[in-house]
Structure 1
Amino acid sequence: MLKGNNFSSPVPMIKLEKFTATEFTNWKLNTQFGMKYLNVFYTVQSDRATVMGTEAETQWIADEDFCRDYLLNCLSSSLAKTYIKMKTAKEIWEALEEHFRQEEDLSKAHLVDKFHSFMFDEEKVILPQVSDFEALVDSLHSENIFLPDSFVAGTIIYKLPSAWYNFKTEMYRKKMQVGLNDLKRFIRIEDENRTRHALETVSKQKAAANMVLSSKRVPNPKRTRPSHGSSQVAGPSKRTKKFKGKCFNCNKWGHSASDCRLPKRERTKAPQDGNQANMVSLAESSDFVGMVGNAKASTEWYLDSGATCHVCNNADLMTRLAAVKESVTVANGETADVLKVGNATLLLSSGTGEDG
């Protein structure tokens, strides 16, 4: 292999990649390619002692000096200040390899953590996120952590969001193992279908909202109230509820007394003379019937107002009568004198008598 540089010919322009303490492996490959292209990489793989006393020693010294300057120019300013103290290119190369290789070994664990914790966001399109996941897998490959495509495809299916449950079930039911390229094609189709369905749903919702707004704004001609002097006939009004009670004027069902067509019945006035304590005045008919005792002995039936109870108009039915001077207030507000008070023997339905 031809070694050394012919400085009489122009040196080709090679872009120098500045190393900033990140992505050491990529920087190392690019820098190594540049040194090989310039035929100076052999100086970091050998020592001066291997060519001591030979005609190639002078060329080796020149190439090693050029390689050292080349490495320092490929470092950032802060790193160049650190490694400029080293005398040979081999020392610089080995020091960089030892220091940053250890850091990348530590970053491998971080990459594995990122691989396991990667999750898809269902609010975003899935296919670009699949590309991000593939970039993470490529980072693992650069660290000599190789994963088969079938494993990567299965991991992507597992990590899909819950909204993709039906899609995941369909993928799991396939008899053949889905490859990574086929999976990306299926995901792209599903993404397009979901996007189209979302747009159609939004369009339908907007159309429904516009229809509701327009129905509120356009007046209904049947419900429009005609203006004064207009010949427009108003629509049918809301029907009133039919009265279900009984008319107190004609005693017929289905209408009230205010709507009765018959002449209004005069109400009975209460008499102004006589025994007011034993009279019950009625303004209108009632639905209950009872019996009340009169001050005068009588066997006739009367309408009971409900103001009294246990009244007897037959003194023969009473026992242990005693004369009293008391009075009671009856339903019409008048008072009546109580002549006697006694006990009565009540005949119950069981046939036994009870003195009360």
Structure 2
Amino acid sequence: MAVVPPTPVTPTPPPPPVTPPPVTPTVVTAPAASNAHAERPEKFSGTDFKTWQQKMLFYLTTLHLARFLKEVVAVPAPNADTQARSAFDAWSHSDFLCHNYTLNGLNNTLYSIYLGKKYKTEDAGIKKFVVGKFLEFKMVDTKTVINQVQEFQIILHDIMAEGMMISESFQVAALIEKLPPLWKEFKNYLKHKRKEMGLEDLIVRLRIEEDNRKAEIKTGKMLMEAKTNLVEPNTTKKRKHFGKDVKQGKNKKWKGTCWNCGKTNHKPRIVAYQRRTISIEQMLFNTNLCLLTCLK
């Protein structure tokens, strides 16, 4: 029996290593803002904060940036992977847009106060400048008191930003003293109040007083218009009646006999010579005058 030699088995080469597909990091891209920005609110000047706040929140919502007002993300560690760093960079960019869109909604004065750069070009005399501005500030009657109170608060903020602290009682007393001339009576009323008020309480009182003054002015105008529309009582009848009496008195016929011509129902023109002895020349003159009157 012949022996069959074994067939040599060729080893199967190992499969090539499978390289995993590159992992694309999920990057939080900044939302694309609308070109029109139609919902952008007006710049905040210090009044009606709640209204401006709601409008700004809606504006940021339309830009998909409202969540960055409250959202906080931790800074990735130095050895973090690329995906985590990219996500953090994208979040930082969106947070930057949200922050600056909000600041851009402030007017120039409030924006400068926030940045702390107001009057920084004159570092040497900035304290003297803000103190002088505080002392020279006076309210006028041509502007609303509440708007001028906000200007006064900005000056106080500048003073305290320079490290000069002012007590609240001093702020209240200074604000009362700087009220406009037409508020003299209300100023004296506030001065004689024994109970101390805070600055916010004083501002609320001023706002109420100003609203009441506006309402009184509006009511006064309405009363004036009502008076001008009143119809005067009709007195023409009495006047006409009185005129008729006078006219009738003038046209009333004289009952009697003229001593010049002897006719009845005829009043002589010259009454001064009645019952009086006159000369023949005067008698003739009166007779002629009477005849002329009769001819008329």
| TM-score, reference length from structure 1 | 0.39
Q: Larger C-alpha radius of gyration, 1 or 2?
A: 1
**TM-score (ref. length: structure 2):** 0.46
Which structure: greater helix fraction?
2
- Please identify which structure carries the higher strand content: 1
- Higher-RCO chain (CA-CA 8 Å, sequence separation at least 6): 2
